[in-house]
């Protein structure tokens, strides 16, 4: 329908594919170009929050996400040294606020595959793998993108371009938009093991361990075999090389220090990531938009980055649909940057920075104060609900709606 030329999306990660599905379901012609030959299945996001589940419901994806994932209403914050629970939060408190009073732990590559399957069934959507956007030019009426594949470099015309091409976004760099913020000195190591932590953590599959020397996080995902895998996340200090962090001896020592076991831990996957808190200075320039990690990156404590990226995609789809249906003038597209950028700072950057700071705090007096505050929040029904409305991004969606009312 609405646009004469397709909307071009650079990046077939979760944000690119879900955004493409939302747009294609509204009748837009959509073309996605993904640089890799296949969907990336390295262990990254899994936690899908209530506000996002509601959006996935509108796309007809939520039942399958729940089927592929693991429902978890709670999360716990522990003191690592004493193994005492500092506070337990329970999304069941949000029963009156959402149809999904829990998170679903569903690995992001599964969401990608579900979206891809739907896109392939739509005549107005095309997804091309091993095709990299290498440049583009924009005019008053459209976009000319340059796409490189085994066939060489070709030009593709579009109406708009969405850069969903991740943290190192070519689209953002080509636009010359600053990625403002900072990089944490430490990297994050993710170890995936079938070790049955369930014995000790049977009642809760999302756990954060606060510690002045080495905090940790422990999450369960279903895994591809459906039998369940645990991911353990640790910080890696700048002086430790990737090789040292990946070495079997280092991996076993870290896991044994975290949770002593008589046997060696089976480790099926190990990965290390640089961690940043950065937000693009603008999410839009003319006919080009940034969404997901191309627009903002953050540490994964709280599980917010991908969730917010999906919200970006749905916001953009809603604005473009209103323009295409002539329900609103094209100037309304300005709202995308005006709304998404401050919401990211308030809900994603602030929460993830605070979560990390609290877990790693070294000063005993500050730790005690933080722990007392967490206990007080968890112990008071009004404060508990308010905390979870923010943590689940329901508040950010409500704030956006209130602003447009």
The residues of the shown chain that bind ligand FAD, judged by CB under 6 A, are 10-16, 33-36, 40, 44-47, 108, 132-133, 164-166, 170, 188, 190, 273, 292-293, 300, 303-307, 309
Nearest to 209 by CA among 335, 318, 86, 115: 86
Helix (H) or strand (E) segment spanning residue 246: helix 242-246
Return the residue matching tokens 């929050």.
49
CB of 297 to ligand FAD, least distance (A): 7
CB of 303 to ligand FAD, least distance (A): 3
CB of 214 to ligand FAD, least distance (A): 16
CB of 372 to ligand FAD, least distance (A): 27
Angstrom distance (rounded) from CA 73 to CA 206: 9
CB of 58 to ligand FAD, least distance (A): 18
Nearest to 124 by CA among 277, 241, 296, 1: 1
- Residue facing ligand FAD at closest CB distance: 13
Angstrom distance (rounded) from CA 47 to CA 256: 26
Which residues face 133 on adjacent strands?
147
Q: Three-state DSSP class for 7? A: strand
Q: What is the largest CA-CA distance in the chain?
A: 67
CB of 80 to ligand FAD, least distance (A): 19
CB of 219 to ligand FAD, least distance (A): 8
Exposed / middle / buried, residue 1 (Cβ in 10 Å: 0-12, 13-18, 19+): exposed
What are the residues whose beta carbons fall under 8 Å from the beta carbon of 30, sequence distance 6 or more? 6, 7, 9, 20, 23, 24, 119, 124, 125, 126
CB of 55 to ligand FAD, least distance (A): 13
**Which of residues 324 and 339 has its CB atom nearest to ligand FAD in the complex?**
339
Nearest to 15 by CA among 217, 359, 315: 315
**Which of residues 55 and 190 has its CB atom nearest to ligand FAD in the complex?**
190
Cβ count within 10 A of residue 173: 13
Nearest to 336 by CA among 311, 303, 357: 311
Return the residue matching tokens 């923010």.
390
């Amino acid at each position: 329908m609405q646009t004469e030329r397709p909307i071009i999306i650079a990046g077939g990660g979760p944000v690119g594919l879900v955004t493409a599905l939302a747009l294609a379901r509204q009748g837009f012609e959509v073309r996605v170009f993904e640089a890799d030959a296949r969907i990336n299945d390295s262990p990254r996001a899994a936690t899908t929050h209530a506000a996002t589940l509601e959006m996935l419901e509108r796309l007809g994806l939520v039942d399958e996400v729940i089927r592929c994932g693991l429902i978890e209403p709670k999360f716990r914050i522990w003191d690592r040294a004493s193994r005492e629970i500092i506070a337990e939060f329970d999304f069941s408190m949000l029963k009156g606020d959402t149809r999904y009073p829990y998170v679903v732990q569903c690995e992001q590559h599964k969401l990608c595959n579900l979206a891809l399957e739907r896109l392939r069934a739509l005549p107005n959507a095309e997804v091309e793998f091993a095709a990299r956007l290498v440049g583009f030019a924009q005019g008053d009426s459209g976009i000319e993108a340059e796409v490189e594949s085994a066939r060489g470099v070709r030009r593709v015309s579009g109406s708009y371009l969405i850069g969903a091409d991740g943290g190192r976004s070519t689209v953002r760099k080509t636009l010359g938009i600053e990625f403002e913020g900072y990089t944490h000195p430490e990297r994050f190591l993710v170890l995936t093991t079938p070790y049955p932590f369930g014995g000790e953590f049977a009642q809760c599959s999302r756990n954060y361990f606060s510690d002045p020397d080495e905090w940790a996080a422990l999450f369960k995902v279903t895994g591809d075999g459906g039998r369940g895998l645990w991911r353990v996340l640790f910080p890696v200090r700048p002086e430790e090389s990737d090789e040292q962090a990946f070495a079997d001896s280092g991996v076993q020592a870290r896991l044994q220090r975290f949770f002593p076991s008589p046997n060696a831990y089976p480790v099926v996957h190990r990965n290390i990531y640089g961690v940043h808190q950065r937000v693009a200075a603008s999410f839009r320039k003319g006919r080009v938009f940034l969404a997901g990690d191309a627009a903002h990156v953050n540490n994964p404590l709280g599980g917010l980055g991908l969730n917010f990226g999906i919200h970006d995609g749905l916001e953009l789809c809603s604005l473009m649909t209103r323009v295409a249906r002539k329900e609103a003038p094209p100037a309304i597209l300005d709202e995308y940057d005006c709304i998404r950028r401050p919401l990211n700072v308030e809900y994603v950057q602030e929460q993830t920075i605070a979560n990390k700071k609290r877990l790693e705090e070294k000063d005993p007096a500050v730790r005690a104060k933080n722990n007392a505050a967490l206990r007080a929040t968890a112990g008071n029904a009004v404060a508990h609900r308010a905390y979870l409305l923010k943590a689940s991004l329901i508040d950010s969606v409500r704030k956006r709606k209130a602003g447009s009312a």
